[in-house]
Amino acid sequence: MQNMKHITVLKNEAIKYLNINPNGIYVDGTLGGAGHSSEIIKRLNEGHLYAFDQDQFAIDFAKERLGTSKSYTLIKNNFMYMKEELAKREIYKIDGLLLDLGLSSFQIDDIERGFTYLKDTDLDMRMNQQQTLTAKEIVNTYEKEKLAHIFFVYGEEKNSFKIVDEIIKNRPLETTMDLVKITDKINYRDKGHSAKRVFQALRIAVNKELDVLEKVLKDAVDMLNPDGRLVVITFHSLEDRIVKHFFKQESTQQIPKGLPVMVKDTSKLEVLTRKPIYPSQTELMENSRSKCAKLRVARRRDI
């Protein structure tokens, strides 16, 4: 397990914007390879980190990497349940939440998980291997309109209906390459890989990623202490759009028409990154998987 390779994306920038209070309470909602978590723990004295992951491999890896420090607690669950899990531990307010969305390097590199379109393996794509819904079930059982909607909305796949027609003709599909053969046939003119958008869409659908993101953002605003930070790293436009819209919504004062301009600002967030933070050229050279990453940060206002 120690030889597994994981390079933490935007590590320095994320830690800087968390603005860690050594005695504060922090949450890493996406433990993964524990890169961000290890940096947070280094900066804590009396403070504590609660780190979430629904993947047992990530939990086991983090136990090994983070060692015997008393400054952290690992929670095996989707960060969607952050509020509920912390309440069980009598934690109702936090000083910062970090979300590094998308897949960990472990999940991509573990061929058997079915996240990659470069190897022939089972159509799985579950981040939580205890759940029952898989990519195979979706491609083989969903009706035409529902499946095309997933590809078009979650993958922004322009040929969604053509791909679905071929899927239906060739059911049942068993492996990743069964699906890649279909996308190769339809998207043969694409510059990138023909299956990239379809695999992204299936992964999001299997793991309900966008619904989960919307819930945790709302919960975070309720839980953050004044000056608490919400730091989010996204890897595709759908996630980034949700974060950007949410930050704008929660940082904008809603003034009813006809009221005087001198009204107390009751917006909950202050956006600290008017434009997203991107990886440096050095990071891009060292880690090609960081090329799509964007970091956005907001601060909880004291109202």
What integer pLDDT is reported at residue 3 of this predicted model? 46
What integer pLDDT is reported at residue 152 of this predicted model? 97
Tell me how far apart the alpha carbons of residues 168 and 181 are, in angstroms, rounded to a whole number. 13
For 15, the token pair is: 């830690």
What integer pLDDT is reported at residue 2 of this predicted model? 42
Nearest to 295 by CA among 250, 252, 247: 247
Question: In this structure, are residues 136 and 173 in contact, taking their beta carbons and an 8 Å threshold?
Answer: yes
Sole residue written with tokens 């509920």: 84
Domains in the chain: boundaries: 11-106+211-300, 113-207
What integer pLDDT is reported at residue 280 of this predicted model? 96
Which of these CATH numbers, 1.10.3720.10, 1.10.150.170, 3.40.50.20, 3.30.565.10, describes 113-207?
1.10.150.170
User: Bridge-partner residues for 100, per DSSP?
Assistant: 233
Tell me how far apart the alpha carbons of residues 31 and 158 are, in angstroms, rounded to a whole number. 33
For 288, the token pair is: 């090609």
Tell me how far apart the alpha carbons of residues 150 and 125 are, in angstroms, rounded to a whole number. 15
Residue 230 is classified by DSSP as E
Tell me how far apart the alpha carbons of residues 65 and 55 are, in angstroms, rounded to a whole number. 16
What integer pLDDT is reported at residue 232 of this predicted model? 98
pTM of the predicted protein model: 0.90
Tell me how far apart the alpha carbons of residues 100 and 115 are, in angstroms, rounded to a whole number. 17
Q: Which residues of the chain are under the pLDDT cut of 70?
A: 1-6, 103-109, 254-265
What integer pLDDT is reported at residue 216 of this predicted model? 97
Burial of 167 (0-12, 13-18, 19+ CB in 10 A): buried
How far the first Cα of the chain sits from its last, in Å, is 46
Burial of 157 (0-12, 13-18, 19+ CB in 10 A): buried
Q: Phi-psi bin for 300: left (phi > 0), alpha (psi -120 to 50), beta?
A: beta
What integer pLDDT is reported at residue 263 of this predicted model? 58
Residue 43 is classified by DSSP as T
What integer pLDDT is reported at residue 133 of this predicted model? 97
User: Bridge-partner residues for 177, per DSSP?
Assistant: none
CATH number 3.30.390.50 given to 11-106+211-300: no
